[in-house]
Structure formats: structure tokens, C-alpha cells
Amino acid sequence: MSRHTWTEIRRALARPVIAVAASIGLLLAPAAVAQQEAASSEKTVVGVALYPGFELLDVFGPVEMWAYVPDFEVVMVAETAGPVASAQQGIEAVAQYSFADAPEIDILMVPGGNGTLVELNNEAYLDFIRKVDATSTLTTSVCTGSALLAKAGLLSGRKATSNKAFFSLAVQQDPSVDWQGSARWVEDGKYITSSGVSAGTDMALGLIARLKGKDQAEMLAKSLEYEWNSDPENDPFAIEFATAN
């Protein structure tokens, strides 16, 4: 797909449905388009809180979706700026910011991964997500990232979910959370938690649908040839793990 096509997709996502129609050849007054694009000029900062041993797809599945929203600015943050190694894969992602110099984050995302076990006892990490959550518009997680949110005390009394294979790990952090054993992702107020690994990509599109409209999320999924599970209650893994337990 050409660079021109990707540019058009990004522009379309910034506009209401009527402007999306214009991008495929229907008429729309230039002044109206300019007004819509000006309204989206202020960036929403989406911050991914990395840690050693994060799961690659937990991060880059959602980032693949969010990076195409023109008024989203995705940043990587870690306790120390620089390369951060993923879980078994060992692939490094670069954190542009440390916890000390991170910008104000509007949407926080906490990934899962083997490194979760270490971060559950890392007060620097837990304090950072508490600090960001105090002013964030949305706080999200993928996989065992919800265990970290729970350990930080951010999910008490709320509905949430986690990776079914490590569900007990999340529950142990805060039994007062209303843990949902059958959910692709769960929204409760500003908190959006998703199930294991690939569910994070579905959640990311769900977040786009929440903020930009479902038509916009569906258009993006289609443009990337991604089959979006758009029903958060459609969890194909819930019965399997429930039976196993």
C-alpha cells in the first residue's frame, strides 16, 4: 500500500463519518474539512509503560492501531529511558522517556508479560502508574497488565479482566476487583482491561470506537486487514480455561 494511501487513512480517522465519505470521492466543502482537521490538531498523548520482560504483542498490537489515529501521539516510557527488552523474544523497544521526565499522559497503557512478576514488587513502577492514573483520561491494560493495575490499587471495586492462563495472578493482587472470567475486554469508567495478548488489539480498536466512533474503528481494522472481534463479551477462550480450572 502506498504512502499516499496510508496518509488518507490517517486523515480519514481524524474526521467524522461525513468527511470519511469525502476521502473516497464524495463532495465536502474544503472549509468544513479544514475546520475538522483544526479541531483535531491538539494531540492526545498515549503512554505505554514499558518494563523488562513485557510481551511484544501486548504493546505493538495496540500501538499498530493507535498510531494511525492522527491526533494520538504514542510515547514509550520506562523507569530508565532507552532500550527495554521484551519477554522470551528478547526484542528491544526504545523508551523515549523515563518516569522522571515523561510528558503528561492522557491515555495510559500497561502491558503484560513475564516481567509482570518483578514489577509487582517494583514500587517505582507502581508509583508511576498511580501518578499517571491520577490525571489520565483513560487507563488501560493488556493481559497481566491488569494485575499491575490491581496491585497499584486502581481497580478496587471495579470490573476487570486478565489473561485466562494467569487469571489467578491478577485475582491475588486485589480480590475486591470484580474479575470477569469471560470477557475479551472490560470497560468500567475510565478503566479498560483486556484479556490475553491478542485481545489487546481488539481493546485498542474498542478504545478508538469509544472516542472516535465504531465506524472509524471498523474502517481502520479493514484497512489493516485485521478481523476485529468488536464484541467485548465474545471471549472464545473463557470456556476452555474455566473448564481447565
Tell me which residue range forms the domain holding 127: 43-244
Judge if 111 and 31 occupy the same domain.
no
Mean pLDDT of the chain: 86
> 34 or 190: whose pLDDT is higher?
190
Judge if 34 and 67 occupy the same domain.
no
DSSP states of the chain: --HHHHHHHHHHHTS-HHHHHHHTT----HHHHHHHHHHT-SPEEEEEE--TTB-HHHHHHHHHHHTTSTTEEEEEEESSSEEEEBSTT--EEEESEETTTPPP-SEEEE--STTHHHHTT-HHHHHHHHHHHTT-SEEEE-TTHHHHHHHTT-STTSEE---GGGHHHHHHH-TTSEE-SS-SEEEETTEEEE-STTHHHHHHHHHHHHHH-HHHHHHHHHHTT------TT--TTHHHHHHH-
Task: State yes or no: is 143 an active-site residue.
Answer: yes
Judge if 220 and 145 occupy the same domain.
yes
- Which burial class, exposed, middle or buried, applies to 62 when counting CB atoms under 10 A from its CB (0-12, 13-18, 19+)? buried
Judge if 122 and 237 occupy the same domain.
yes
Judge if 91 and 34 occupy the same domain.
no
Judge if 25 and 88 occupy the same domain.
no
Judge if 12 and 47 occupy the same domain.
no
Q: Say what percent of the chain tops pLDDT 90.
A: 77
Judge if 185 and 97 occupy the same domain.
yes
Q: What's the total number of domains in the chain?
A: 2
pLDDT tens for each residue of 150-169? 999 999 999 999 999 999 99
Taking residues 3-32, what's their average pLDDT?
44
Judge if 12 and 128 occupy the same domain.
no
Q: What cell numbers appear for 175 in the block?
A: 480480590
Judge if 6 and 99 occupy the same domain.
no
pLDDT tens for each residue of 74-103? 999 999 999 999 988 889 999 999 999 999
pTM: 0.83
State the CATH number of the domain containing residue 164.
3.40.50.880
pLDDT at 42: 86
pLDDT tens for each residue of 102-145? 999 999 999 999 999 999 999 999 999 999 999 999 999 999 99
Judge if 195 and 115 occupy the same domain.
yes
pLDDT above 70: residue 213 = yes
Catalytic residue among 143, 160, 192, 204: 143
pLDDT at 2: 53
Judge if 149 and 203 occupy the same domain.
yes
